[in-house]
Amino acid sequence: MQFHITPPDETLRPELQNKIDNLAKPRGSLGRLEEIALRVGLIQQSLSPTLRAPENILFAADHGIVAEGITPTPKEVTWQQTLHFACGSGGTGIGFLCRQHDFRLTVVDAGVDYDFPAGCGVVDRKIRRGTSNYLTGPAMTLDELEKCLTAGAGVVDDAAARGCNVVSFGEMGAGNTSSSALWMHYFAGVPLEKCIGAGSGLDDAGMRHKLDVLSRACKNYEFELNGPGSAWNLDGGPREVMARFGGFEMAMAVGGMLRAAERKMVILVDGFIMTACMLAASRLHPNVLHYAIFAHEGDERGHRLLLRELKADPILSLGLRLGEGSGAVCAYPIVDSAVRMINDMESFASASVTKYF
Write the pLDDT tens digit of every residue in 113-141: 999 999 999 999 999 999 999 999 999 99
Instruction: Determine contact, residues 219/228, Cβ cutoff 8 Å.
Output: no
- Distance separating the N- and C-terminal Cα atoms of the chain: 51
pLDDT score of 183 more than 50: yes
- Give 178's contacts (C-beta < 8 A, 6+ positions apart): 63, 65, 70, 71, 196, 199, 210, 213, 214
Write the pLDDT tens digit of every residue in 287-297: 999 999 999 99
Of 204, 209, 284, 287, residue with least CA distance to 246? 284
Three-state secondary-structure class, residue 105: strand
Rg of the chain (C-alpha set):
21
Instruction: Determine contact, residues 271/298, Cβ cutoff 8 Å.
Output: yes
pLDDT score of 352 more than 60: yes
Q: Please, is 163 exposed, middle or buried when counting C-beta atoms within 10 Å of its C-beta (0-12, 13-18, 19+)?
A: exposed
Write the pLDDT tens digit of every residue in 161-173: 999 999 999 999 9
| 27-47 average pLDDT score | 97
Three-state secondary-structure class, residue 135: coil
Instruction: Please state, in angstroms and rounded to a whole number, the distance separating the CA atoms of residues 265 and 303.
Output: 24
Q: Which CATH architecture has domain 55-334?
A: 3-Layer(aba) Sandwich (3.40)
Q: What is the pLDDT of residue 230?
A: 45
Q: What is the pLDDT of residue 302?
A: 87
Quick count: other Cβ atoms within 10 Å of Cβ 64? 20
Of 308, 327, 311, residue with least CA distance to 319? 327
Write the pLDDT tens digit of every residue in 208-259: 999 999 999 999 998 887 765 444 455 558 999 999 999 999 999 999 999 9
Write the pLDDT tens digit of every residue in 57-76: 999 999 999 999 999 888 99
Q: Which of 15, 68, 324, 346 is catalytic?
A: 324
Instruction: Determine contact, residues 329/305, Cβ cutoff 8 Å.
Output: no
Residue 10 bears catalytic tag: no
